[in-house]
Structure 1
Amino acid sequence: MIQPAQPINEKERLNALSSIELIKDIPEEEFDNITQLASYICKTPISVITIVEDEKNWLKSNHGGPPITEVERKYSHCGHAILEPGILMEVEDMRKDLRFYNNPFTTLPESPILFYAGMPLLDNDGFALGTLCVLDTKKNKLNDAQKKALKNLAKQVEKLFELRRKNRYLEKIKQELDDHNTLLKDFAGVVSHDMKMPLANMIITADLIKARYKHNVDEKGQELLLNLKKSALKLSDYINGILNHYESDRIVASKEVEFDLHHLLEDIIDLLNINDRCEINFPAENIFLKCNRAALEQIFINLINNSIKYNNKEKIIIDIESAIDENHYYFTVTDNGIGIPEDQLSNVFKLFKTLYITDRQGNQGNGIGLSTVKKLVESLHGNISVSSVLGESTSFKFDIKRA
């Protein structure tokens, strides 16, 4: 018997093998199907997919063979096969081959392995990671069609290996992105929270200076104090938007509850302290819902608040409609506001993308509120869209999945 030598690129080959992260000792149907088919085509009782490691061969799939999961590499047939990547190794009678004539598997008293045909399994860089092989307990010889089929089946195993490697790589990248995203969320939350108090102090201080020293500050100074307050309020609104955006993940985790739509909208009107200059028309038919109430409430708060802010009419009118089917709840929020230019409709849901329109106080949006709405709608397995007539109306339609 001759022990198999190591390939000259053994270190690189083992590194390539580890990158696939194959699972040991757990049967996988896609591999077992291939060995079963190989055995059937080649008319051999045994077919295995072997992985050649540093000191062991382990069997990723074992069809018809002894109930073993690994073999010492020095006794393996596949250790010899991988020395010639791309070439099918066939041994018709192990007893007549110096490499195997007194191998423990050749000299078994019952069911000795006398025939072997193995095709090395290569990765994209040409490293031989193992073999797809067929074995028999008697002398044998594959015909040309069987050899071609065994090579084609080996190509399928190689594709499974590459798919596994890519999936593992993508999983690691996703985990890294999730970790970075979590860090960014935490950072944004901490920074935004810590900035709220200094901004509040700036706003209060500006008001105190105007009130206490109004006779000592000239008109230009009063204007500068007003600009300071406006800037602080705008930054405060921006920070609140960021906090709400990242808080949406926590809102989505809220439990589903049963409630009626009219009651939800009444609570929102009380919360927003809406006055008589704003008319909000509820759906004609009240519907009962079972879903994430906190998330739906946040969606309506943002949409209704936008309808009020971006409206230059003496009488603000907001119409809310609803519908229901077996799988979804459907909602529409329409206002008689300033509308959105057609060329900007595609940007309304993009985070930090501001539109070239101002609200009732002449302030420009921060590009966070509607992005948060879209994020919440999609987390509830729904979709949202917008249509608008400039100077006349804007309509948001969205749906969410029923519990």
Structure 2
Amino acid sequence: MISTATPINENFRLEALKSLDILDTQSEKEFDDITALANFLCDTEVALISLVDNDRQWFKSKDGLSIKTCETPRENSLCSYAILEPKKPLIIRDTRKDERFNANEIYLEDKPVIFYAGIPLIDKDGFALGTLCVMDKKPRELSKKQLESLQALARQVIILFELNKKNKDLEKIQAKLKKKNEALREFAKVISHDLKMPLANIVTTTDLLKLVLGDKLDEESLEYFEYIKSSSFSMSNYISDVLAHYESENLINKKPERFHLNQLLKEIVELLSIKPDFTIHFPENNPEVECNKLALKQIFFNLIGNSIKYNDKEQIVISIETTQDDKFNYFRITDNGMGIPTNKLDSIFDLFTTADTIDRSGNKGNGIGLSTVKKIVESLGGSITVTSKEKEYTTFDFSIKKYY
């Protein structure tokens, strides 16, 4: 055999091969199915997905060989010869009668390679990475249909290579994002600690100055003091919301509990210090649910809180309903508040996106609460949607996957 079978674009070809990050990986059923099918269609003894590396050919999949054989030297490789002309298959009816290969008998394990058919595996840039090949210990011919089938399977191999590469790239991106997210979470903790204390001092100092100065302050000065105080509270709430967004992941790993929903809702109402101008309709029959209780509490705390904040009616009315099936718990919360503009419905769950609406106290939202709700809901295997009509109502429907 000619041992110096090297494509003219060898350096670029090897770079393309290594970029797939597939050499020396574990066997995979998707590839093994292809070699098994190639053997069956061509009625041969051995089928390989062979990748031609710098000094070896490595088998991503093999059918008809022992589990131990994963590679052979490139200098004894028919596949390294097949990639010299990527645009056409290499078909050798009898290697013993081919002057390119008859100098020495060719063996793979203990099997003589007499018949060989190799289809070059061509990537999107035209580089031949290796072959999908079939072999036999006796002279053979392939029909036109068999050859076409082998070429079709080779194209599927390339598709699988590309999918594997995309999946690995996504895994790397996810790992980087996870690392950045952890850094942001730590940053949020630092911000919460380092900024909230000075803000608390500003509020305290403001009240102290008002007390000390007493009658010396005119109405305009008092308004400035109130502005400083309210701004400090707004900033403190903003920081708390940022921290809650990044801490929400800690809720997801809590064990599921079985509890009565209405009891949980009443606890939230007490935490929110609801005023007399508020009416809430709990689900009938006080249904029992099983899920992550702390996570569900955080979801309802945000949604009920928003229903109160963004409500311009004299009497706030909120209704909560729930149903379930074999896989999910379903929840609905409806209020009679300000509603959400139609052009904001598609983006209302995006981080730092607001409906540009001033709340009941004259403040503007920070766009963190609903993104946190969506993050928690999706982490619990569910989804959330919103429907709304300005000046009339807003309804949030969300689901949480059951635990079994």
Tell me if both proteins adopt one fold, taking TM over 0.5 as the criterion: yes
Question: Residues 316 and 94 of structure 1: is their aligned pair in 2 closer, same or farther, counting only changes over 3 Å?
Answer: closer
- 1:21-70 CA-to-partner distances (Å, cap 9, x unmatched) read 22647433322332233333333322222111122112222222466222
- The Cα shift of 1:297 comes to 0.8
Q: Secondary structure at the match of 1:129?
A: strand
Q: What's 1:15 paired with?
A: 15
Separation of aligned partners in 1, 2:279 and 2:91: 85
Separation of aligned partners in 2, 1:281 and 1:111: 79
Indicate conservation of the 8 Å contact 2:185/2:247, yes or no.
no
Q: What's 2:237 paired with?
A: 237
- The Cα shift of 1:260 comes to 1.0
Indicate conservation of the 8 Å contact 1:385/1:396, yes or no.
yes
Q: What's 1:401 paired with?
A: 401
1:241-260 alignment runs, 5 A limit:
241-260=241-260
- The Cα shift of 1:170 comes to 2.4
Q: What's 2:119 paired with?
A: 119
Question: Residues 33 and 334 of structure 1: is their aligned pair in 2 closer, same or farther, counting only changes over 3 Å?
Answer: closer
RMSD: 2.6
1:163-182 alignment runs, 5 A limit:
163-182=163-182
Question: Residues 157 and 370 of structure 1: is their aligned pair in 2 closer, same or farther, counting only changes over 3 Å?
Answer: closer
**Which is further off, 383-392 or 90-99?**
383-392
Separation of aligned partners in 2, 1:129 and 1:209: 77
Question: Residues 342 and 80 of structure 1: is their aligned pair in 2 closer, same or farther, counting only changes over 3 Å?
Answer: closer
**Which is further off, 174-183 or 78-87?**
174-183
Q: What's 1:333 paired with?
A: 333
Q: What's 2:38 paired with?
A: 38
Q: What's 1:29 paired with?
A: 29
- One-letter amino acid of the counterpart of residue 395, structure 2: S
Q: What's 1:372 paired with?
A: 372
Question: Residues 340 and 22 of structure 1: is their aligned pair in 2 closer, same or farther, counting only changes over 3 Å?
Answer: closer
Separation of aligned partners in 1, 2:260 and 2:175: 39
1:345-356 alignment runs, 5 A limit:
345-356=345-356
- 1:54-100 CA-to-partner distances (Å, cap 9, x unmatched) read 22112222222466222111111112221222222222322233432
Separation of aligned partners in 1, 2:319 and 2:155: 62
Indicate conservation of the 8 Å contact 2:96/2:105, yes or no.
no
- 1:270-303 CA-to-partner distances (Å, cap 9, x unmatched) read 2222243433332231111110100111112122
Q: What's 1:86 paired with?
A: 87
Q: What's 1:73 paired with?
A: 74
- One-letter amino acid of the counterpart of residue 228, structure 1: I
Q: Secondary structure at the match of 1:228?
A: helix
1:293-308 alignment runs, 5 A limit:
293-308=293-308
Separation of aligned partners in 1, 2:125 and 2:119: 17
Separation of aligned partners in 1, 2:300 and 2:11: 60
Separation of aligned partners in 2, 1:256 and 1:379: 14
**Which is further off, 42-51 or 197-206?**
42-51
Q: Secondary structure at the match of 1:213?
A: helix
Question: Residues 155 and 361 of structure 1: is their aligned pair in 2 closer, same or farther, counting only changes over 3 Å?
Answer: closer
User: Would you say how many aligned residue pairs link Structure 1 and Structure 2?
Assistant: 402
Indicate conservation of the 8 Å contact 2:323/2:329, yes or no.
yes
Indicate conservation of the 8 Å contact 1:94/1:106, yes or no.
no
**Which is further off, 2-11 or 295-304?**
2-11
Q: Secondary structure at the match of 2:365?
A: coil
Q: Secondary structure at the match of 1:364?
A: coil
Separation of aligned partners in 2, 1:160 and 1:29: 11
- 1:314-346 CA-to-partner distances (Å, cap 9, x unmatched) read 443333333333333233333343444444444
- The Cα shift of 1:227 comes to 1.5
Separation of aligned partners in 2, 1:153 and 1:354: 51
**Which is further off, 21-30 or 247-256?**
21-30
**Which is further off, 363-372 or 25-34?**
25-34
Q: What's 1:95 paired with?
A: 96
Q: Secondary structure at the match of 1:4?
A: coil
Indicate conservation of the 8 Å contact 2:311/2:338, yes or no.
yes
Question: Residues 50 and 396 of structure 1: is their aligned pair in 2 closer, same or farther, counting only changes over 3 Å?
Answer: closer
1:181-220 alignment runs, 5 A limit:
181-220=181-220
Separation of aligned partners in 1, 2:390 and 2:150: 67
Question: Residues 96 and 244 of structure 1: is their aligned pair in 2 closer, same or farther, counting only changes over 3 Å?
Answer: same
Q: What's 1:140 paired with?
A: 140
**Which is further off, 284-293 or 206-215?**
206-215
Question: Residues 25 and 337 of structure 1: is their aligned pair in 2 closer, same or farther, counting only changes over 3 Å?
Answer: closer
Separation of aligned partners in 2, 1:208 and 1:156: 75
Q: Secondary structure at the match of 2:262?
A: helix
Separation of aligned partners in 2, 1:66 and 1:338: 71
- The Cα shift of 1:106 comes to 5.7
Q: For structure 1, which runs of at least 5 residues remain unmatched after alignment?
A: none
Q: Secondary structure at the match of 1:215?
A: helix
- The Cα shift of 1:247 comes to 1.7
Separation of aligned partners in 2, 1:143 and 1:394: 67
Q: Secondary structure at the match of 2:284?
A: coil
Separation of aligned partners in 2, 1:152 and 1:322: 52
Indicate conservation of the 8 Å contact 1:49/1:130, yes or no.
yes
Question: Residues 29 and 280 of structure 1: is their aligned pair in 2 closer, same or farther, counting only changes over 3 Å?
Answer: closer
Indicate conservation of the 8 Å contact 2:339/2:389, yes or no.
yes
Separation of aligned partners in 2, 1:23 and 1:107: 20
- One-letter amino acid of the counterpart of residue 71, structure 1: T
**Which is further off, 114-123 or 187-196?**
187-196
Question: Residues 338 and 148 of structure 1: is their aligned pair in 2 closer, same or farther, counting only changes over 3 Å?
Answer: closer
Indicate conservation of the 8 Å contact 1:3/1:99, yes or no.
no
Separation of aligned partners in 2, 1:279 and 1:289: 23
